[in-house]
Amino acid sequence: MKSFVIALVTFTLVMSGVAYAGAPKDKPDKKGVLIVAFGTSMPDARKAIDNLVNSAKAAFPGTEVRLAYTSNIIRNKIAKEQKVNIPTPTSALAQMNDEGFTHVYVMPTHIIPGEEYDDISGVVNGFAAIKGKYEFRELKLARPYLSSADDCDAMADILVKRFAKDLANAGTEIVLMGHGTPHHAANAMYSQLQLSLDKKAPGRFTLGTVEAAPMIEDVVARLKHNTAVKSLVISPLMIVAGDHANNDLAGRDDPESWYNQLKGAGYKDIKAHLVGLGEDEGIAKLFVAKIKDMMK
């Protein structure tokens, strides 16, 4: 009986004492950055993501920078067509854990903290809940680009600079297409950004989204109230100029594209600027700054 009790106590101590006996407190720091994007299967559009990844690598030369995609459809397509395997956030964090990373900083490329961000947050919180031998010493998730009024002001400054040449023409309006997240409080950040743009460049920007308010009908209605508008520049408010930008925004063959609907509304002079925000150096600097804030 005595030997049984000793064995039982020993087993209990081992099982409950993992955090004490097995936690890697004496292991040297090994830091990493995990960039999480929705993803793209278009090689040209990939340049935007590559720019952010390369900017992070340049800013943190002693820290390993990795990439994960949230879209399984895109991941599977890339694996099949390009023979490249890009992990999910879950598998990427698990791999970094297995490789002994002690500090991991997760940086999303998403514009607003919508449904996609909630999913990423769930994954990070799951790993953060692990205690003991397999816990990260530090695991943080940054907020997306548009998470506050100050963020919107910063983005507005970048956009005004980005379209400075177009804005030099008094009759040109910049029409931006965001993705949008229906039935989610974070979608309100697009309205906040519109307010910031109106403050920085009154009457020069109109913002809409593909999947939530404000939609193309709202965009047209706003444009009609500005009689000074003579020409339009349409551009994605997205990190990557992928399918939405090339088809939903600027598609010539789709009668429902914004390009064709704006044409139908009477705007004949329309130029498409199909470059993802990720290629903008101002966006890349903001991206790096958010990572630095996490590391403080």
Together in a domain, 123 and 178: no
Q: What is the pLDDT of residue 27?
A: 78
- Rounded to whole angstroms, the Cα distance separating 174 from 146 reads 19
Catalytic residue positions, numbered: 179
Residue pair 45/274 in contact (Cβ under 8 Å)? The answer is no
Mean pLDDT along residues 83-105: 97
Q: What are phi and psi of 85, to 5 degrees?
A: -105, 115
The domain that holds 139 is classified in CATH as 3.40.50.1400
Q: What is the pLDDT of residue 25?
A: 63
22 within domain boundaries:
no
18 within domain boundaries:
no
Mean pLDDT along residues 239-258: 96
Together in a domain, 170 and 265: yes
Together in a domain, 74 and 191: no
Together in a domain, 101 and 166: no
Q: What is the pLDDT of residue 163?
A: 98
Looking at the structure of the chain, the number of domains it has is 2
- Rounded to whole angstroms, the Cα distance separating 89 from 106 reads 9
Q: What is the pLDDT of residues 32-87, one digit of tens each?
A: 999 999 999 998 999 999 999 999 999 999 999 999 999 999 999 999 999 999 99
Residue 14 has pLDDT above 60, yes or no: no
**Which residues, 6+ apart, have CB-to-CB distance to 233 below 8 Å?**
163, 166, 172, 173, 174, 175, 270, 271, 272, 273
Least confident of 13-27, 126-140, 196-210: 13-27
Residue 243 has pLDDT above 60, yes or no: yes
Together in a domain, 159 and 129: no
Average pLDDT, the chain: 92
10 within domain boundaries:
no
Together in a domain, 177 and 250: yes
Residue 6 has pLDDT above 80, yes or no: no
Q: pLDDT band for position 24 (50/70/90)?
A: low
Mean pLDDT along residues 214-239: 97
Together in a domain, 180 and 232: yes
Residue 3 has pLDDT above 80, yes or no: no
21 within domain boundaries:
no
Residue 235 has pLDDT above 70, yes or no: yes
3-state secondary structure (DSSP) of residue 21: helix
1 within domain boundaries:
no
Q: What is the pLDDT of residue 148?
A: 97
Together in a domain, 140 and 99: yes
Together in a domain, 140 and 285: yes
Question: Which bin fits 205, alpha (ψ -120 to 50), beta or left (φ > 0)?
Answer: beta
In the annotated binding site, the residues are 179, 211, 244
Q: What is the pLDDT of residue 116?
A: 95
Together in a domain, 47 and 117: yes
Together in a domain, 35 and 66: yes
pTM of the model: 0.88
Q: pLDDT band for position 17 (50/70/90)?
A: very low
Domain of 93 in residue numbering reads as 31-144+281-295
In the annotated binding site for Co(2+), the residues are 179, 211, 244
43 within domain boundaries:
yes
16 within domain boundaries:
no
Which alpha helices (DSSP H) does the chain contain, by range? 2-16, 18-21, 46-59, 72-81, 89-98, 115-128, 149-162, 164-167, 188-200, 216-224, 243, 258-264, 281-295
Q: How many CA atoms lie within 13 A of 146 on its CB side?
A: 28
Q: What is the pLDDT of residues 120-178, one digit of tens each?
A: 999 999 999 999 999 999 999 999 999 999 999 999 999 999 999 999 999 999 999 99
Residue pair 63/31 in contact (Cβ under 8 Å)? The answer is yes
Together in a domain, 157 and 256: yes
115 within domain boundaries:
yes
